[in-house]
Amino acid sequence: MQSREIARSSMATSLHSTDPRKWILSLITLTCILGASLFIDPPSIGTQILGKLNRVVPDGLTGWSVLTSPNWKIQPLAVNLSSCHPAIGRPGKLVNCCPPRNMLDDPISDFEFPDPDTTPIRVRRFAHRLDDDYIAKYEKALSIMKSLPHSDPRSFTRQVEIHCQYCTGSFLQQGSDFPVRVHRNWLFFPWHRMFLYFHERILGSLIGDETFALPFWGWDSPDGMTLPELYLNGSFNDHRRDPSHYPPTVVDLNFKKLDPTRSTPEEQIRLNLALMYNHMVSGAKTAELFLGCPYKTGEYEECPGTIERAPHNPLHTWLGSPDIDGREDMGAFYVAARDPIFYAHHSNGDRLWGLWSETHKGFDDPAFLNSYTYFYDETLRLVRIRFSDVMEMDKLRYRYEEIENAWVAARPEPSVSPRLARREIRKREREREGNVVLDLPSSRFGPTNRVLDSTITIPIDRPREVWYSNRRNEKEREEILVVEGIDVKANDYVKFDVYINVVNSTILSPIYREFVGTFVDIPGGTSSSKKRTKLQLGISEALEDLEADQDRTIWVTLVPRTESCNQVTVDGLKINYTEK
């Protein structure tokens, strides 16, 4: 029905054309589509035909304006299954991870929830507490999966390729030439939940165990802040890792790659917990801050959420081999799923999404909930699943073993007392008002942008609606610091941190309240036409703790943490706000 409605709208538009030849050609084309749509089950195939014609029919045909109009963007995002093509795996490397045969040759079934009366709940266990029986069971399932031929979509190589397809943009959106990518936007959490769900059920079916569940690597908990021993042996080992990060080394959730300093285990744990507090609590007050920016049909904006930026991205790089380009396997998304630790890593991210959802409202945008994609299940059926289907773990019949969430109580303190800091900030303001030259750029860096080859400190005026309402104790808005137009030209891991109202630049660290977030970019899965990225940071709680929530101006500091930042430019900074 959807394709027929679009066609009717197109016909109505084409009737206004003044060129009879265009009107006739448009009418003939639309008639063919209307006829075909009678025999097509939308939206799996009908929309794909419209998507192809959107690229084939000349732009001059006014009858197709509906397909390229802004209204088309409200349609749910879907995958064009016939569009898979080679894509960039990492800079300088073209990869082909497409299925060996056209997926449209297989019948498509809509996803159905497991029957709660007959389906046992799968319990995903903490990877540091696994017993021998479970490990033997998991190794058997993984060995069978690795033995399956490439022609079998349940095989391990095909599982690896699924992630490759969706992180490199190998598939196009239906009705658009834009790629489907599941990183750096609101698809990140739900798509990976789908991937793990089907992967887990395939493993269980291979050993005839309906209760089998993947383990999770609880890297946010002090008891889980080392690589689990399980992944050092047998089928779970991957020689393409950084051996210097094997136990007893504590994971670095804020990995800077070339940082010459070495923290003690206790210091590293404290830093990890402070970062987790920022990215799970104070900086994650809204759905867009935590989950990432909207990603709709016909448009693409890179704007990852808190947990995706870190710890997700830093841990991928922390684990990968320093002796291989792109720090493969884990350091390069297109082959990351080749390392079995990938699935435990993402299971923990999924667990954190579940925890966040218990106290926060997610997206209710139909363009998000009604978007859909496809996976092969444990019976080799090709399943169409909508993002609305994976919003609740209970309906999917799995849950996580409970562990300590120590980061909940890890709220950082200011590096210096707010009273002393305010005195220094007022001094800066007087110098600014007195036209004293401080070599500081404006909040917009101009047409040449600003290269992040050194630390930048800049004053930002806050919206009056925010600081004025705070003075009246009406704190109903979440203040968001936006770093605009981040252009990454580097073919390497990129990281920079963001601080506010810093008065002692020698003690910059996430363990202090001045830290409000980090930007982390892993190269790969992009092209020369990549759009610039936007970084959004929730700062209301930090401003309160710094006693700066009623100030008209704050001072923002961008601190490059990798050498590759000398190939990064930023357009400027601003402050937005949204209702809590």
- The catalytically annotated residue of 198, 333, 342, 375 is 333
Query: What six digits make up the tokens of 529?
Result: 């036409």
Give the Cα separation of 120 and 433 in Å (integer). 67
Would you call 316 a catalytic residue per the annotation?
yes
Q: Quick check: is 312 catalytic?
A: yes
Catalytic, 183? Answer yes
Cα distances from 552 to residues 425, 465, 520, in angstroms, run 11, 10, 29
Q: What are phi and psi of 479, to 5 degrees?
A: -85, 135
Which of 128, 199, 245, 312 is an active site residue?
A: 312
Distances (CA, A) of 398 to 133, 333, 351: 20, 26, 11
Catalytic residue among 126, 156, 192, 375: 192
Instruction: Please say if 239 is a catalytic residue.
Output: no
Contacts 24+ apart (CB under 8 A), 360-366: 360/284, 360/285, 360/286, 360/287, 360/290, 361/287, 362/287, 362/291, 362/391, 363/186, 363/287, 363/291, 363/294, 365/294, 366/74, 366/76
Q: What are phi and psi of 503, to 5 degrees?
A: -120, -10
CA gap 458, 178 in Å, rounded: 36
Whether the ω angle into residue 248 lies within 30 degrees of 0, i.e. cis, is: yes
Residues 407 and 280: beta-carbon distance below 8 Å = yes
**Cα–Cα distance, 250 to 225 (Å, whole number):** 5
| 176: phi then psi, degrees, rounded to nearest 5 | -155, 155
Q: Residues 316, 387, 445, 519: which is the catalytic one?
A: 316
Contact 76, 370 (CB under 8 A): yes
Look up tokens 């704050």; give the residue. 554
CB 155 within 8 A of CB 429: no
Among residues 128, 163, 245, 345, the one annotated as catalytic is 163
Number of neighbours of residue 369 by Cβ within 10 angstroms: 17
Q: Which of 199, 346, 496, 515 is catalytic?
A: 346
Residue 333 is among the residues annotated as catalytic for this protein:
yes
Reading the block at residue 243, the tokens are 């051996």
User: Taking Cα atoms as reference points, which of 339, 391, 372, 333 lies closest to residue 184?
Assistant: 333
Nearest to 254 by CA among 197, 202, 313: 313
Ramachandran sector of residue 166 (left: φ over 0; alpha: ψ -120 to 50; beta: rest)? alpha
Among 221, 183, 215, residue whose Cα is nearest residue 200? 215
For tokens 């926060």, name the residue.
360
C-alpha to C-alpha distance for 295 and 406, rounded to whole angstroms: 33
Residue type at position 394: D
Q: Around Cβ 59, how many Cβ atoms within 10 Å?
A: 9
Q: Which strand (E) or helix (H) includes residue 336?
A: helix 333-336
Q: Provide the greatest CA pair distance for the chain.
A: 77
Q: Comparing C-alpha atoms, which of 226, 203, 205, 228 is closest to residue 214?
A: 203
Catalytic residues: 163, 183, 192, 312, 316, 333, 346
